[in-house]
Amino acid sequence: MTTHTWQGRTAVITGAASGFGLETALLAARQGMNVVMADVMMEALGEAVSQVQALGAPVLSLRCDVRHAADIEAMGAATLARFGAPHLVFNNAGVGAGGLIWEHTARDWDWVMGVNVMGVAHGVRVFTPMMLAAEKADPGYSGHIVNTASMAGLVNMPNMGVYNVSKHAVVALSETLYQDLRLVSDRVHAHVLCPYFVPTGIAHSERARPQDAQEQGRKATASQRVAQGLIEKAVASGRVTAADVAQFVFDALEADRFYIYSHPKALAPVTTRAQEIVSATNPSDPYRDRPELGQQLRAALRR
């Protein structure tokens, strides 16, 4: 357990215009940090920046499409020039997409994997060397990299297609980062955030889909419409807020805890999956405790 002094230190946050990103930026500002805020939604980012600046925090805001290496590299250079090496990097930008896995188009795969996986990979690639250099130069330096995955990175619910794949990749990337950092560093730490259903903008990811990832005239498939409806309902019903999750993140940094959960009581399916892997048992019905939900999903998809 360590106690951090965040005053005067720097947080870099992608997906900062809403949800976990915005709430983490607000919490960082309240603790006296400099805040770098990046997003593709410029109008929403402007409003978010105003909220953070109102708390007295120095803010650097950038339009950043995390799919693109050059955008993250530019953000890294701008951060270093303005504030120096950051002490918290929150690779948080993410998008959601559901539906039967074979119904995703090539552009769906490029977009979701680009944001959810390569956005994290670029953040790790750009900021980790910067943080390790700061550690070497300053005996008082400590840094944290937090990557946003999901409970969908630990289990595989049906009809969640490319989203499951992308979030499993983020968990694997983060666990590897944790182990790699332990080989070379004592004061730069890795963490992975695995939230369950929390009211954020994730259910409306399509509005942030850039033009080069869109497909004119394409209509959602039946499975994708079903997934969208279920996601919207589940996210809207969440009782844990994005502000709660932001606090959970800072609590985990203080405790140097790698896995960060919004709903620890929802981990039973993770245990089941691990037991099935070890025993080479076929994956069980994820709706066995709530069979009516499974029946509804099957009926909707077989119409």
Query: 34-39 and 143-148: which strand pairing?
Result: unpaired
Distance CA 148, CA 174 (A): 9
Distance CA 146, CA 169 (A): 14
163, 196, 259, 287: which is the annotated catalytic residue?
Answer: 163
Check if 163 is active-site. yes
Tokens coding 238:
């969440």
Q: Label residues 61-84 b or e (16+ Cβ within 10 Å = b).
A: bbebbbbeeebbebbbebbbeebe
In angstroms, the Cα distances linking 292 to 163, 238, 270, 282, 288 are 24, 20, 21, 21, 9
Distance CA 160, CA 100 (A): 7
Point out the residues that are catalytic.
163
